Structure 1
Amino acid sequence: MTNPAATSAAPAGLRPHHRFWPRRLPHAITPPATSLWFNLEVSARRYPNKPALVFFDRSTSYRELLEQAERLAAHLHAQGVKAGDRVILFMQNCPQWVVAHYAILRANAVVVPVNPMNRAEELKHYITDPDVKVAIAAADLAGDLLKASAELPEAQRLSHLVVAHYHDAIGPDADIPPAWADWLATRHPLPALAGGTVADWADALACNAVPPVHDRRPEDLSVLPYTSGTTGLPKGCMHTHASIMHNAVAGQLWTGGTHENVALLVVPMFHITGMVVGMHCGVYTGTTLVLMPRWDRELAGRLISQWKVTHWTNIPTMVIDLLASPRFDQYDLSSLVFIGGGGAAMPQAVAQRLFEQFGLRYAEGYGLTETAAPSHNNPADNPKQQCLGIPFLSVDARVVDPDTLQEMPTGEAGEIIIRGPQVFSGYWKRPDATEAAFIDFNGKKYFRSGDLGRVDEDGYFFITDRLKRMINASGFKVWPAEVEALMFKHPAIAEACVISTKDDYRGESVKAVVVLREAAKGQTTEQDIIDWCRENMAVYKAPRVVQFVDALPKSGSGKVMWRLLQEKE
């Protein structure tokens, strides 16, 4: 599917991938020198009556989105949220998530997006590490957040919580999947916050105080998304208004975006891809965002058909699932002009079917929380399959020997390093980790991705392996060290080693090899451990398989030899 006109040698000074560069685009851009809040203000002035958000059968115009965000910002300010303060945002995709995100930015504060799958034990870290005092949560998730807060020392607890219900954003004729009916319809009583206050969403939006003067500059912090790693607890990635702004603008340009776009937003917005490529890119452009709170293939098919969706960024497993629906022939995907995503490789057969049936070339991309989503993307006109793509707008990426830091020859594997305006400023309160994450290459600072890859003769990047120990389950990154740390809290577990196991649907799943304490042997089953893990950690992290062993293999220094267990698996 390559363009024959793009196969001549690259001119001097250009990289090989520039031969395949979309001809309509520059190699680098100058993003607006404004805050992210300003993007919403501009779109609301330009398209006041245009649907900004669609949720089931109800739409929210750009004017309404702006007004709601300003009122919630005033409420946050009245509750003592000051410039630079961090505020937790804890809910599934819904209109309130977008309102809350922009309200936090409007209040000159910093958004801490938290995965709604996290449980109380995990949530403590998201309160204490960023020193959060105020949170905005969905009513069905508030209990875990309040439990986490109550178990902390008094000085570290939350002082205020705003609670929202999904069904407040849904109209009377919503076409809701039957399995979600109770989840979306249940009205939870307003909870109590020990030593603090709680406001219902409607009451918070009734605030008629004046929000503070908005004074954020491009270099100020805007978002603090957390990413796990090879050791210990998740780390906050410091993103400025400028780093997020770059990829919001670049994403719109790369996918041929206009203000007439209609985008299906089902990738979770707590995740950097959904937040930046979905929401920020859409609001900057003036797109209509069709929101899904979770994945459901039949609902996705109906929404694409009904709203004439033009752009859909996803995880390949979603496309595989939709194409496998027995009702697939009832859906109309003819409106789609762009489809792409990442998190896992798109199978060749599925990509071929998309092209033959709809003329769509699936464009895979690659990025990390640290790079504000894409650092690489396949050109829509010249994609290669099972490929990360080429370095994105304004990005320089290389493959180097992880030990010597010398650039590797074409086709040889090494660590992918990345430089560009969308790269984060560093890890929150972790100067040691920040220093380790960057290297000096050719006199410039590059971010170490931790992924091993190679570059072909055309300048396209491919993943070959992971330098870091990580499991990729349907695009969700699972860090074994974090799962192990949580498992050690189980009273029956003496030792645990987490590895990946093959999964036909998810690609990989989590397996725990466990040594039980003597007193627990014969008393605790593998299923007991699995059930406990599902209670105490996000479901995608929880081991699906547990194997009991008498001892874990260890090196001479006493370290668990996880790689040996992985190779056996």
Structure 2
Amino acid sequence: MSDSHLPFWPSYAPRHLWVPQTSLYYNLEVSAARFPDKPFIVFYDTQVSYRRFKEETEKVAGWLQQACGVGKGDRVLVYMQNSPQFMIAFYGILRAGAVVVPVNPMNLTGELRHYVHDSGAKVAFAAQELYPRMQPLLAEGLERIVVASYSDYLEAPTDLNVPDFVAAPRQPPADAGAVAWADVMASGCSPGPMEAGPDDLAVMPYTSGTTGQPKGCMHTHRTVMYNAVAGGIWVQGSGQPGHVSLAVLPMFHVTGMQYNLNGAIHSGATVVLLPRWDRDAAALLVQRHGVTGMALITAMVIDFMGNPRLDEYDLSSLRSVGGGGAAMPKAVALALERKLGIRYREGYGMSETMAATHSNPPDRPKEQCLGVPLFDVDARVVEPGGTKELAPGETGEIVVNGPQVMLGYWNQPEASGEVFVEIDGKRFLRTGDLAYVDEEGYFFFVDRLKRMINAAGFKVWPAEVEAMLYHHPAVQEACIIAAQDPRRGETVKAVIVLKPGWAGKVTAQEITDWSHANMAAYKVPRIVEFVAALPKSGAGKVMWRTLQDAQKAATPRP
């Protein structure tokens, strides 16, 4: 790896990062001992102190162990929007010695079935509005579901706009095996001694790929700890107890999880929580609580800066805004710098690396750039499918070696073997992303080797969507490609061959409506094109790249 980026390394940051060799839960024990009365969570003006947070995680852990028999290494699903209960359940599972399996709340029953069966989870936490999607799985592997109503934590009066799904009153579940969150809190259970250590599994986010079915990325307390600490040191001030973050990125995703949960607990910060993006609520919360940092995907920054009421809010407390999801338009980055004096800081990471492996130096970021390798990360651009490192300016595949890289995919030894390669005696992760490095050691994204669509920060895996479309009675063949979208960056397009006799009997809108009923909204094809045949290779494989290139050629350049 080149060291040409080192002259631009933040002056306050060490080159090597020492991280605690403990469990993640120990971070909470330390912060709760140091700052017991400090607000950890602010949820629509209701405050949850570090002391209360720790006490409630212990109640969850005790209930899991005593009522459910959950032990060290068992997997437990968490299926909620950003909420106090998501955060408490996450750390309660860790306290029980078990493994958190965070699930996108947009997933529907068919998608949830895979997570339950693949992970082997017997227990899940689900939000009240999402419970009907998970309830059928009580007869298919799940033994217990804890049902949480967000309104349980609306304890203080607020003038903020509270969405209906958050304000909805508690509706105790009647199904056998379903338990209300309030009953878990009232159970009085206490956990046994903490058994998990740094090399035990802690979190298993799922990611998909070319084979369609999502795979669990095995992360230990040690691999998660690295980025929980790194982010707070890389961005000066964000790793201090005085830091106040606005948490709106979903915590089931590794970026929101690390920045607003694990990283915040490690530093003793305060988290101002929003379950769903609302640009006016975000600006008001910055003003009301002195928010110092926000992690936002590009689409959120565009919406935030496009708010005609933005000048009405006092945003002077903000010190940093960073994220990714898509390249930041230059005009928006300039508006952010002009209005707030903040240079947007883009980064790069994956579920397999528990968030960032690269980030732009805060005092010297480059536009539409992935940044430079973080502490102790060896990142290279090599020949696609090979191991030879390429010269600056040459496009190849990004490979990374670092402390935050996963152990492998859960119960997928073959897939794990394919994604790792040895170079110079080190184990590198093949990212499947094409990039080049400039003369100063900054990485720039070019394209993807793997088929993936980035829709407003949500990663859509075409093979997974195609597999679901084949369940539609009219679909004979389907190919999913990316189409450019001015707000989402990319959106999902389906190119479909209909079965004989279906031409003229099914519309593109009907395909979209069916998809909405059968898959998470971000996966739904927003564009549907019917064709007589799909291009295929001599071996009979669909040539998706041909369709993708044709789509790009037909898209007007901005």
Task: Pick from 193, 212, 215 the counterpart of residue 192 of structure 2.
Answer: 212
Match 2:333 to one of 351, 363, 377: 351
Aligned residue type for 1:62? Y
Q: Deviations along 1:368-411, whole A, 9 cap, x unmatched?
A: 01111010001111111100000011111011001331000111
2:118 is equivalent to residue 129 of structure 1: yes
User: Using the alignment, how far apart are the partners of 1:291 and 1:549 within structure 2?
Assistant: 46
Name 2:16's counterpart in structure 1: 28
Indicate whether 1:159 and 2:139 are aligned. no
Instruction: Summarize the alignment of residues 279-318 of structure 1 with structure 2, pairs less than 5 Å apart.
Output: 279-318=261-300
- Residue in 1 aligned with 2:32? 44
Question: Does the CA-based 8 Å contact 2:247-2:271 persist in structure 1?
Answer: yes
Deviations 1:260-281 (A, max 9, x none): 0000011100000011122100
Pick from 480, 496, 504 the counterpart of residue 498 of structure 1.
480
1:436-460 deviation line (CA, Å, top 9, x unaligned): 1111111211111110011111111
Taking the aligned partners of 1:523 and 1:354, their CA distance within structure 2 comes to 49
Residues 65-112 of structure 1, C-alpha deviations (whole Å, 9 max, x = no match): 000000111111121111110000000001111100000000000000
Query: Which residue, 285, 288, 307 being the options, matches 1:325?
Result: 307
Tell me the SS of whatever aligns to 1:161.
strand
* Counterpart-to-counterpart distance in 1, 2:385 and 2:216: 26
Moved more, 552-561 or 425-434: 552-561
- Report the CA distance between 1:211 and its aligned residue: 0.5
1:314-337 Cα distance to aligned partner (Å, 9 max, x none): 101111101111211111211011
Q: How does 1:58-137 map to 2 (within 5 A)?
A: 58-78=46-66, 79-137=68-126
**Larger deviation, residues 337-346 vs 258-267:** 337-346
Asked if structure 2 preserves the Cα contact closer than 8 Å seen for 1:277 and 1:373, the reply is no
Structure 2 counterpart of 1:544:
526
Contact 1:476 1:540 in 2 (8 A): yes
8 Å Cα contact 1:72/1:205 also seen in 2: yes
Distance change >3 Å, CA 406–CA 137, structure 1 → 2: same
**In 2, Cα distance between equivalents of 1:148 and 1:42:** 38
CA distance in 2, matches of 1:312, 1:241: 25
Residue aligning to 2:555: none
Tell me the SS of whatever aligns to 1:440.
strand
Question: Does the aligned pair in 2 maintain the 1:167–1:184 contact within 8 Å?
Answer: yes
- Give, in angstroms, the shift of residue 188 of structure 1: 5.7
* Paired residues of 1:124 and 1:149 also in contact (CA < 8 A): no
Q: Percent identity?
A: 52
Q: Could you tell me which amino acid in structure 2 is paired with residue 41 of structure 1?
A: E
Which deviations, in whole Å up to 9, do the C-alpha atoms of 1:332-365 show, x marking residues without a partner? 2110111111111111111112222222111111
Q: Distance in 2 between matches of 1:507 and 1:500?
A: 10
Q: Which residue of 2 aligns with 1:509?
A: 491
Please list the CA deviations of residues 166-220 of structure 1 after superposition, one character each: whole Å capped at 9, or x if unmatched: 1111235233437x2x322223633354xx5111111101122220210111000
Residue 136 of structure 2 aligns with an amino acid whose one-letter code is K
Q: Which amino acid aligns with 1:68?
A: E
- Once the two structures are superposed, what CA deviation does each residue of 1:48-71 show, in whole Å capped at 9, x if it has no partner? 000000111101000000000001
- Look up the SS of the partner of 2:522 in the other structure: coil
* Paired AA for residue 182 in structure 2: A
CA distance in 1, matches of 2:487, 2:396: 29
Q: How does 1:421-440 map to 2 (within 5 A)?
A: 421-440=403-422
Write the deviation string for residues 267-304 of structure 1: whole angstroms up to 9, x where unpaired.
Answer: 10000001112210001000000011011111111111
**Equivalent AA in structure 1 for residue 159 of structure 2:** D
- Residue 563 of structure 1 and its aligned partner are, at CA, apart by 1.2
What is aligned with 2:45? 57
Q: How does 1:376-525 map to 2 (within 5 A)?
A: 376-525=358-507
Q: 2:83 & 2:201 partners in 1: Cα distance? A: 24
Q: Secondary structure at the match of 1:518?
A: coil
Letter paired with 1:209: C
Q: Which one-letter code corresponds to 1:227 in the other structure?
A: T
Unaligned regions of 5+ residues in structure 2, if any? 552-558
CA distance in 2, matches of 1:175, 1:439: 54
Q: Which residue is equivalent to 2:129?
A: 140
Question: Structure 2: which amino acid aligns with 1:135?
Answer: A
Note if 1:559 corresponds to 2:548.
no
The amino acid of 1:430's aligned partner reads Q
User: Structure 2: which amino acid aligns with 1:511?
Assistant: K
Q: What is the distance in 2 between the residues matched to 1:175 and 1:333? A: 19
Q: Which 5+ residue runs of structure 1 have no aligned equivalent?
A: 1-12
Query: Does 1:173 pair with 2:162?
Result: no
User: Matched residues in 2 for 1:206 and 1:161: separation?
Assistant: 16
1:269–1:278: 8 Å Cα contact kept in structure 2? yes
TM-score, normalised to structure 2, is 0.96
Q: SS at the partner of 2:5?
A: helix
Alpha-carbon distance, 1:519 to partner? 4.0
Given residue 445 of structure 2, which amino acid in structure 1 is its aligned partner? I
Give the letter for the 1:27 counterpart.
R
Amino acid at match of 2:9: W
Say yes or no: does 1:233 pair with 2:213: yes
CA contact (8 A) 1:471 1:477 kept: yes
Q: Which moved more, 1:24-33 or 1:65-74?
A: 24-33
Shift of 1:492: 1.8
Shift of 1:127: 0.2
Number of residue pairs aligned between Structure 1 and Structure 2: 548
Q: Secondary structure at the residue paired with 1:339? A: strand
Q: Distance in 2 between matches of 1:298 and 1:263?
A: 16
Match of 1:568 in 2: 550
| 8 Å Cα contact 2:212/2:461 also seen in 1 | no
Equivalent-residue separation in structure 2 for 1:81 and 1:87 (angstroms)? 9
Q: 1:245 is matched with which residue?
A: 225
**Contact 1:121/1:148 (8 A) holds in 2:** no
Structure 2 equivalent of residue 191 of structure 1? 173
Q: Work out the CA distance in 1 between the residues paired with 2:427 and 2:491.
A: 35
User: Aligned pair in 2 of structure 1 residues 487, 91: CA closer, same or farther (>3 Å)?
Assistant: same
| Distance of 1:367 and 1:135 partners within structure 2 | 27
**Cα separation, 1, equivalents of 2:20 and 2:2:** 26
Give the distance between the partners of 2:480 and 2:55, measured in 1 at CA. 47
The answer as to whether partners of 2:138 and 2:177 remain within 8 angstroms in 1 is no
Q: Amino acid of the residue matched to residue 521 of structure 1?
A: A
CA deviations over 1:432-483 (Å, ceiling 9, x no partner):
1111111111121111111001111111111111111111111111110010
CA distance in 2, matches of 1:233, 1:176: 40
